[in-house]
Each structure stands twice: as C-alpha cells, then as structure tokens.
C-alpha cells in the first residue's frame, strides 16, 4: 500500500499534482479542503461552521478534519493507497493520522513537500481566484494569512516526518509537467 502526504503551502500545486499521482499510482485522493467545500455547498452544519474559519484563512478545528478523514478511510477500506492533500496541517493531525493508519498497519510511505517561493504562491492563488470562485483566493490579505498559518502551524510537521525518515523536499517551481516528473521519480524510488 502506498500512502502519500502531499505537502506544501497554499498555492504550491498540491491539488494539481495529486491528479498526476492518482493517475500514475492508482491512489484515492483525499483533500480536506475539497471535502470542506463540498460540506459548505451542501449547507451542512459542519460546512457552515467550517466556513467561518476558511473565509478568514484560519484552520478548521483538528477534531472536525480528523473525523472527516476517519470516515473516508473507513469508506475506502479496499483502496490501494491514499494521497492526503491539505491534511495533516498540524502536528496533532499528523499524530491522529498515524494512529488511524496503524490500526490497519498501513503507514505513511512518504511526505512530499512542494517548495515554492512566496511571491509565486501569491501569484498562483490570485490567478486561481479569478476562476475558482474561492473567496479565500481573491483577497491578498487572506492569502497572506493562509501563508502565515502554514509557517506557524503546518510547516513544523516537516520535522515530524523527518524524524521518521519520510520527508522529501521537491522543487515546486517550474512547469506542471516538470514538477510532476520530479514527484513521480521520488515516489518510484521509495
Ligand atoms: P485548501 O483547499 O487545502 O487550501 O484548504 C482551504 C481551507 O480549508 C484552509 O484555509 C482551512 O481553512 C481549511 N482546511 C483544509 N484542510 C484543513 C486541515 N487539514 N486542517 C484545518 N483546516 C483545513
């Protein structure tokens, strides 16, 4: 079983690259951002609560996102593997994920961290905001906050996976195809 954490700041290209990895390795894509946006679209209680955090570029509570991932893992128990996109985002989430995967003896294989310069992240997000309809991609101060939250709460997870020898930095600058090739090479070498 191949379980990958696709990691990096907002705008690093996680969603785009996840599509390539799913195709190449037959994995199931679990994006907590997508799941939350679906909840908002369906106007569920969870979605309405999450929206208040997402609109400001803050993180939704650990309890909520961990519960969502747990449900998805149970619902896809026959999967060949998963690609986690936008999860975990805190050390508490990383711990919870390890515990959930331990139950099935299917640990994380690697954490692939896309490294992208800050101005490029801002440009990509503002560009995506023109067509994505995502309000958190359209306001530069919210984008700045999302990047700060990443550095403060999410980036420390790199050390968590490095301690398990599972952390790989990938150059996330360049064309979509170039970055996809770098990721694929790293996964094949695992
Ligand atoms: P994303 O689509 O990954 O950029 O996520 C959009 C927003 O959803 C984030 O800014 C957070 O508010 C929320 N979110 C997504 N994933 C998580 C997570 N793992 N933990 C907490 N909040 C999350």
Task: Give the model's pLDDT for residue 127.
Answer: 95
Label the pairing between strands 110-115 and 2-7.
parallel
57 lines ligand 1 (CB under 6 A): yes
The secondary element (H helix, E strand) that includes residue 83 is strand 81-85
* Angle at 11 (CA atoms; ends 146, 64), nearest 5 degrees: 50
Per-block mean pLDDT, blocks of 10 residues, the chain (190 long): 97 96 94 97 96 97 97 93 98 98 93 98 96 93 97 98 98 97 96
Q: How far apart are CA 179 and CA 4, in angstroms?
A: 16
Task: Give the model's pLDDT for residue 104.
Answer: 82
- Substitution site in 89, 96, 132 for ligand 1 pocket (most atoms within 8 Å of beta carbon): 89
Q: Which residues are catalytic?
A: 14, 89, 128, 134, 146
179 lines ligand 1 (CB under 6 A): no
Give the number of the atom of ligand 1 that is nearest the alpha carbon of residue 88: 19
10 lines ligand 1 (CB under 6 A): yes
8 lines ligand 1 (CB under 6 A): no
Task: Give the model's pLDDT for residue 105.
Answer: 87
Task: Give the model's pLDDT for residue 36.
Answer: 98
| Cis upstream peptide for 128 (omega within 30°) | no
Beta bridge partners of 30: 84
Please, what sign has the CA dihedral across residues 89, 91, 94, 95? negative
Q: Could you tell me if 50 and 64 are in contact, meaning their C-beta atoms sit under 8 angstroms apart?
A: yes
């Amino acid at each position: 079983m191949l379980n990958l954490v696709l990691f990096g700041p907002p705008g690093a290209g996680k969603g785009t690259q996840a599509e390539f990895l799913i195709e190449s390795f037959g994995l199931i894509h679990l994006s907590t951002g997508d799941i939350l946006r679906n909840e908002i679209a369906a106007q569920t209680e969870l979605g309405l609560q999450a929206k208040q955090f997402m609109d400001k570029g803050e993180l939704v509570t650990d309890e909520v996102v961990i519960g969502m991932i747990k449900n998805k893992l149970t619902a896809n128990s026959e999967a060949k593997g998963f690609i986690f996109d936008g999860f975990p985002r805190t050390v508490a989430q990383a711990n919870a994920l390890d515990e959930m995967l331990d139950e099935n003896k299917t640990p994380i294989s690697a954490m692939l961290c896309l490294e992208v310069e800050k101005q490029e992240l801002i440009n990509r997000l503002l560009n995506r905001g023109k067509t994505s309809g995502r309000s958190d991609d359209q306001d530069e101060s919210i984008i700045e906050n999302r990047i700060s939250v990443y550095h403060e709460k999410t980036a420390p997870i790199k050390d968590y996976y490095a301690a398990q020898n599972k952390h790989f930095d990938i150059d996330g600058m360049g064309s979509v195809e170039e970055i996809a090739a770098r990721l694929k090479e790293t996964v094949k070498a695992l």
